[in-house]
Structure 1
Amino acid sequence: MILLSDPKVLDVPVRDCGEPLAEIASVPVIVLDPRERDEAGAYGRVRTGVLERLRSASEMLPDGVRFLVIEGHRSSTEQARRFALYEDRLRRSGITDPVELRRQASAFVSPVEVAPHCAGAALDLTLVDADGVELDMGGAVNGHRTGDEKHCPLDASGLSDQARRHRDILARAMSGVGFVNYPTEWWHWSYGDRYWALISKAGSAIYGPA
């Protein structure tokens, strides 16, 4: 598994295409959840091309199922804050080696210099039914915050058949339009960033920090 702290990710060149950020809420079939709302409203924006692909992915979902987006763009300041907080949590657990701290922290929070969210290239999302009720995904979005790391990977073991089906629905729709998953987080999908470029062998990222 390649983590975001891997030097190969930082080595990917960026040739930003200049696309602006777009409002996720402008697409009626996609639900935007307020739980990660920030003062500037950045959480509700992604690059135009990312939003168009999300719209296309939504058309691949079964009837009565919709995307619930938790977070899109994130400022570099907020990204750095979250990374430091998670490193502190790991440090308190007894991990002191700086290299290992960075590696383990990057399993759930990207180093700011390569962060897909900071590029407007990433989406944290789940699925809801026609009434807006979240489907059983076998674990919560950002489950690492509550100590449920074992259910966070997309291919986590021990999931119910229902949760596995729902994750498969999500994965088919997102990968079907070109998104790549960060395998430690079933809810995190990106397009156009450095990690996407490395995994998809695109050669270069088309989105840098936005």
Structure 2
Amino acid sequence: MTEIVLMSDPKIAAIPVAECGERLVDVRRGDSLLVDTRKQDPADAFAYLREGVLGRLVKAQAMLPQGLQLLFVEGYRPPSLQREYFKEYADHLRAAHLDWSAEQIHSAASRYVSPPDIAPHSAGAAVDLTLADADGHELDLGTRMNADPEESEGACYTHAANISEQARANRKLLCTALTAAGLVNYPTEWCSQSSSCVQE
């Protein structure tokens, strides 16, 4: 099994990040992507991505078999919302594991939500998405969108063994297209992709 490097790993935080100047764009412009509003926030920030990331998604979608399309769920996440998500999940873990240290809680929380100080969503460089058919119905990818490791018994991990063959095939199809377009999967979430160019 491949080692999973979590977003909380000091090796990740040590990677220098510089603003590239690429603008945030609304993915709803044009008709290129199907957009789901389940993560819509009052400011509509969810629908924004760096222009290059959107270009990669459009490229990935063009590589999918006829009758399939990407279903965009969330892109940009304001830092305040990222902090809220991280704290909420860390609090959940803390309540379930009273014997865990603060460091263990922080590391475990980063399996599901990136630590706020290095979160690619807060740079508009990450996207949560899934596959849908021509009618917009989500395909089976083994768990609900954004399932956490506890709820899914680890089935949210990209290469989880406890999912059906159909779900595994759908994940492979999704990952193959996105990787070919220049995106990188966070292996603890089958639905999360980020741009390798923005985090260099």
Q: How would you bin the TM-score normalised by the shorter chain? A: over 0.9
12-21 or 76-85, larger mean C-alpha shift: 12-21
Q: In 1, are the aligned partners of 2:36 and 2:71 still within 8 Å (CA)?
A: yes
Q: Residues 171, 27 of structure 1: CA spacing in aligned structure 2 closer, same or farther, 3 A cutoff?
A: farther
Structure 2 CA distance, aligned partners of 1:20 and 1:149? 38
* Structure 1 segments unaligned to the other structure (5+ residues): 195-204, 206-210
Match of 1:147 among 140, 146, 151: 151
Aligned to 1:97: 101
Q: Residues 119, 108 of structure 1: CA spacing in aligned structure 2 closer, same or farther, 3 A cutoff?
A: same
Aligned to 1:15: 18
Structure 2 CA distance, aligned partners of 1:47 and 1:158? 34
Aligned to 1:49: 52
Q: Residues 145, 81 of structure 1: CA spacing in aligned structure 2 closer, same or farther, 3 A cutoff?
A: farther
**Number of residue pairs matched?**
195
Note if 1:66 corresponds to 2:72: no
Match of 1:174 among 160, 171, 178: 178
Per-residue CA distance 1:55-108 (angstroms, 9 max, x = gap): 111100000000001100000000001111111000100243011010000000
Alignment of 1:21-36 (within 5 A): 21-36=24-39
Aligned to 2:164: 160
Match of 2:190 among 186, 190, 205: 186
What amino acid sits opposite 1:102 in the alignment? H
What amino acid sits opposite 2:24 in the alignment? L
TM-fit CA distance, 1:27: 4.1
Structure 2 CA distance, aligned partners of 1:145 and 1:34? 23
What amino acid sits opposite 1:55 in the alignment? V
TM-score, scaled to structure 1: 0.90
Aligned to 1:197: none
TM-fit CA distance, 1:156: 0.5
Q: Residues 112, 133 of structure 1: CA spacing in aligned structure 2 closer, same or farther, 3 A cutoff?
A: same
TM-fit CA distance, 1:146: 7.8
What amino acid sits opposite 2:137 in the alignment? V
Identical columns (%): 42
Q: CA RMSD in A?
A: 1.3
Q: In 2, are the aligned partners of 1:68 and 1:128 still within 8 Å (CA)?
A: yes
* Structure 2 segments unaligned to the other structure (5+ residues): none
Query: For 2:127, what is the secondary structure of its paired residue?
Result: strand
TM-fit CA distance, 1:161: 1.5
